[in-house]
Amino acid sequence: MKKFTVVALTLALAIFASACGSNGNEPASGSADGETAKKVIVGTANDFEQVAFLDDKGNLTGFDVELIREIDKRLEQYEFEFQTLEFSNILLSLETKKVDIAAHLFEKNPERAEKFDFNQEPYAYWRNKIIVASDNQDPIQTLDDLKGKKVLIGPTSAQAQLLENYNKENDNAIEIVYQQNDANDEVLQITSGRVYATLGADFLLPIKDPQGKLKTVGEPLNEGNILYVFRKNDPESKKLSDAVDATIKELKADGTLKKISEQWLGQDFSQ
């Protein structure tokens, strides 16, 4: 069995914020035919609870991390290696060939599709909804009800794309507040009144807010297919994407993906 390597690299300050990771180093494993396995650098973050985060021992783990590790076990021709980055730098690192796959619960949207390719087989599905304080009694049902209010969102996220597209069509009616530091500070920001709401996937709320200080309201804004992101117009990247797709199908068929989803996300989001 190949040992998964987690790497922390300090990238040029002119391009990236500081990056941090976890431990372990081992040469690439040999493939089944005796050839050296091709190294694949996987870009992710380390502060997304239950998805990609550092445990009490400082080891990188979570849903995205453990799923990639399982894919790594089944693709003998590749050896996967993590590089942890600030979320806002993951796709930039892919574009500049610092990493080969972006893995951080990415949804495909038109803006991303212009620059990047995605694998075809989703490894998770969920619905994006409006999230407000649990004691908020306002009749919030749609984005129209957020006009004139501050809404917190992660830059470059699929949820940010939703709000930005809405504002283009509605004269910037919603005041978008982009997260700068802690990617999981929605609870504090909303309960303190600094912002009114955020948008998020339905499964994330119990993870980010185990004390139930927030709630989802209204109908789903959209349904998201979660995919890995690859470089565009790159034959080797396409070959890797196809191999990952085939493995995801195997993981769904034998129940492994279901188990990983239930372990880290609390239920099966793989179908």
What pLDDT shows up at residue 184?
A: 59
Task: Please indicate, yes or no, whether residues 233 and 212 belong to a single structural domain of this protein.
Answer: no
Cα 105 → chain centroid: 3
Whether pLDDT at 35 is above 80: no
Whether pLDDT at 19 is above 60: no
- Alpha-carbon gap, residue 235 to 228, rounded angstroms: 16
Strands 116-118 and 175-178: unpaired
Task: Please indicate, yes or no, whether residues 129 and 62 belong to a single structural domain of this protein.
Answer: no
- Alpha-carbon gap, residue 145 to 122, rounded angstroms: 31
Q: What is the DSSP letter of 192?
A: T
Band of residue 156 on the pLDDT scale cut at 50, 70, 90:
confident
Burial class of residue 73 (count of CB atoms within 10 Å of its CB; 0-12, 13-18, 19+): middle
- Alpha-carbon gap, residue 251 to 46, rounded angstroms: 24
Task: Please indicate, yes or no, whether residues 147 and 37 belong to a single structural domain of this protein.
Answer: no
- Alpha-carbon gap, residue 264 to 49, rounded angstroms: 9
State the angle between helix axes of 256-265 and 63-74 in degrees (0 to 180), rounded to the nearest 10.
Answer: 160
Query: Is residue 271 a part of any domain in this protein?
Result: no
3-state SS assignment for residue 73: helix
Please report, for the domain that includes residue 251, its CATH number.
3.40.190.10
- Tens of pLDDT, residue by residue over 22-32, are 433 333 343 44
pTM to 2 decimal places: 0.71
Task: Please indicate, yes or no, whether residues 118 and 133 belong to a single structural domain of this protein.
Answer: no
- Tens of pLDDT, residue by residue over 95-125, are 999 999 999 999 888 889 999 999 999 999 9
The angle at the Cα of 170, spanning 169 to 174, to the nearest 5 degrees, equals 125
Q: Could you tell me the two tokens for 10?
A: 């300090």
Which residues lie closer than 8 Å to 57 by C-beta, 6 or more apart? Answer: none
What pLDDT shows up at residue 201?
A: 86
Residue found by looking up tokens 């989802």 in the block: 216
Torsion, Cα of 20, 22, 27, 30 (10° steps): -110
Average pLDDT over all residues of the chain: 87
Element spanning 197, H or E: strand 197-201
Task: Please indicate, yes or no, whether residues 110 and 216 belong to a single structural domain of this protein.
Answer: no
Query: Is residue 270 a part of any domain in this protein?
Result: no
Band of residue 12 on the pLDDT scale cut at 50, 70, 90:
very low
Share of the chain above pLDDT 70, in %: 86
Query: What is the tally of structural domains in the chain?
Result: 2
Q: Which domain holds residue 88?
A: 5-124+226-265
- Alpha-carbon gap, residue 133 to 205, rounded angstroms: 12
* Amino acid at residue number 5: T
